[in-house]
């Protein structure tokens, strides 16, 4: 399958890989940085992952399937949102991947999302993911009052 255009964003966080990992899979933490969305999954390869929330006054339920899990290193899943304006077909699902790496006392979190149609969609996805990684950074580094 041609994965079209890819959005990538990355940030360094002064926190351990285990803390960053926990932020990715703990529903209470996810809700803090993911615009209030609730995440549901058992975090096993092949299992569903669902994000439920309200965006611009409209309830939504985004969904996907866990593709890869390497604790404290990689989380990857397919992803589709009804807010995307596309039909719920496999070709319309993106792959979202979180990579965690460590160097000295910093942990780098890199997020990629593929299957984007236009350069504008890449920019929008990168802006969204920059807010997400910024929120994760603020939460883990103790600046919760400035979470977007």
Residue 145 has pLDDT above 60, yes or no: no
- Residue 3 is predicted with a pLDDT of 58
| CA gap 7, 85 in Å, rounded | 19
- Residue 2 is predicted with a pLDDT of 46
What would the mean pLDDT of 12-33 be, rounded to a whole number? 96
Domain regions of the chain by residue span: 5-140
> In the predicted model, what is the mean pLDDT of the chain?
92
| CA gap 136, 71 in Å, rounded | 17
Give pLDDT tens digits for 51-60: 999 988 989 9
Note the pTM of the prediction, 2 decimals.
0.90
Query: Distances from the Cα of 29 to the Cαs of 58, 107, 124, in angstroms?
Result: 22, 17, 23
**5-140 — its CATH code?**
3.30.530.20
Query: Distances from the Cα of 49 to the Cαs of 46, 61, 88, 106, in angstroms?
Result: 9, 10, 15, 28
């Amino acid at each position: 399958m041609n994965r079209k255009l890819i959005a990538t964003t990355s940030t360094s966080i002064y926190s351990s890989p285990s803390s960053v990992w926990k932020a990715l899979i703990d529903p209470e933490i996810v809700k803090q940085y993911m615009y209030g969305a609730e995440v549901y999954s058992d975090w096993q390869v092949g299992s569903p992952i669902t994000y439920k929330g309200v965006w611009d006054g409209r309830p939504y339920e985004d969904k996907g399937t866990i593709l890869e899990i390497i604790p404290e290193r990689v989380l990857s899943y397919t992803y589709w949102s009804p807010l995307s304006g596309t039909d719920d077909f496999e070709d319309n699902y993106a792959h979202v991947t979180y990579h965690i790496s460590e160097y000295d006392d910093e942990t780098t979190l890199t997020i990629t999302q593929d299957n984007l149609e236009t350069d504008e969609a890449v920019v929008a996805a990168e802006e969204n993911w920059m807010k997400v990684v910024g929120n994760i950074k603020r939460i883990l580094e103790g600046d919760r009052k400035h979470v977007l």
